[in-house]
Structure 1
Amino acid sequence: MPSNLATWQSRPVPDLSLSPSPSPSEEGLVERLTVRRYLGEHGDRDAARAAAAAQVERLRDRSRLLEVREDGVRRGEAWVVQQGDDLAVIDVALDDVALAPALRDALLDLARAERRSRLTVTVSPGDPGSEALVADGGFETFATQMRLDLDVEPPAEDVVVLRPMGQERYNEWIQGQVAEYAEARQRSGESAERAREVSEQQHAELLPDGLRSAGHHIFEGVAGEEVVGLLWLSTERPMVFVYDVVVEEAHRGRGHGAGIMRAGARWALDHGAHAIGLNVFGYNDVARRLYDRLGYQVTENFVARTP
């Protein structure tokens, strides 16, 4: 527990206070994560629940389950996680969403007390607690998770085909990939130091053996005889995940982004996936419009504001 939390938590924010749960039960948290985040990804409730429980366990050392109390009466809980310089609200459950503005003030107060650079909130569409927490609160979207369910067979792509990337091309690509991803994270609000740290760590974990890394497939998108872009897919989960898609600058504006993504959806279906997912940064309006046109649906919005 941060040393200044004991002082902070004693201050009411009108009629509402937060305090670490004295005997936290994670059953409700795991169930909510199962439904909101993992069921669509895994397509199976038992597998989704196992993934939710694994996330809670993975973040245990830097997370807190806080009780929300009104006049001393428990009215809900919020799961907050330390993510670099940010205080991240991953889950919130309230008996009455009318308490959301007061809870937001309390969380902002906590972020200030702990000298966090941002308060971030994961917002699941249709979840009244998280939606009320950020409504009219000055938050901006810095990233969005999206998913395309493959319950309807995607159209065949007759322009762009995928072929496995060769070693020489991979050596060229990976040199700039870490820096480009760090720059994207920085544009989305992270400090330069934090963005670089996360980018280096994630690439080292995801691609420890380069092109031979288990569960990862990196393709060139080819139209005719020309390489027009690339696509990086992961099969580590039942839902195929897009880690990167690029259209080469000389080939932009010709529909090749849509072609690469359609080819990726077809590849995912052919390899037994029930869905394909991705993350798009909030500033990337061009990519977001493409995914909307292709039928991807928002599964989570990640929003932030300074305390």
Structure 2
Amino acid sequence: MTTRTTFAEPEDFTRSEGLRALLNRLYEGGPGAWQHDPVAADLMVYAAEKYGALARKHGLDPWEAASAAFDVMRTKAARTAGDPWGVVTHAVRITCIAEERGQGLLCSTHQARRPHISAFHDAERLSDRENPLTDYHAAFHVTDPDPGESDSTNTHEPAGATVCCSADSAVEDAIALFTLLGWPAHVARAGVEHVCQALAGAGSRQSAYEALRRDKHARALLDVNSTAWTALLKALLGHPSPAYAATAAGRGILLRLLIGESLRALLRDDDLVLLISLAAPKHRGRS
């Protein structure tokens, strides 16, 4: 009697049907099947090559993607799926994204999978920012008067440096500041009053700044160049960028005077003094 031995053809795991057959066989093999099966080793090498580009896209090693594929292949979902490779690919992609987010957020991959955690931006050092933290972080946005300019410290200051409490006094102090820093008195008064009128009509500093920036007629009446006109607007209304909205540079002279800063405090602002004095127009006419 002749006994015939039939050898099963090796599974073509590159196709979904072959992968399903291999996964079922390894599952039925029990513990240790993945460790000792030579086809399983070839499958992992193939997975590392297959998902290598995806892993590198997310800053990972190809074998990290292969490890994620290994975890999925041992599940029932992969064995019973209509397209096992589709299930594995989808799971590996999600794992790679979570790994990348976890590294950026300095947390575990499990936590990075949660939407309320992954919604945050990557962790970064304060020194990585080009602008100081106080220029843009909401925690530092305050509108209180300068602590150094309290009532107790201003008791003996001259009348010209007292804290302003009305719009009229703020306008007069603004004119005085420009005059002290080299601007002709008639130009300073006409410029400040024109900006205040535009501000009252516009309703906000940002919209007033944009309208005045394009007001060539006013610039011609004042007989000042573009540098002096831009410096006048920035000094009075503040820097137009939202990033500077809560800083001294973003508030502008008028607002700083209205919220309690004195003329003497403004004169101690080196950046402001430099901005105004360097842009002062040179007029030979009336002073």
Quick check: TM above 0.5? no
Q: What range is the shorter-chain TM-score in?
A: under 0.3
| Structure with bigger gyration radius | 2
Q: Choose between structure 1 and 2 for higher RCO, CA contacts under 8 A separated by at least 6 residues.
A: 1
TM-score, length basis structure 2: 0.22
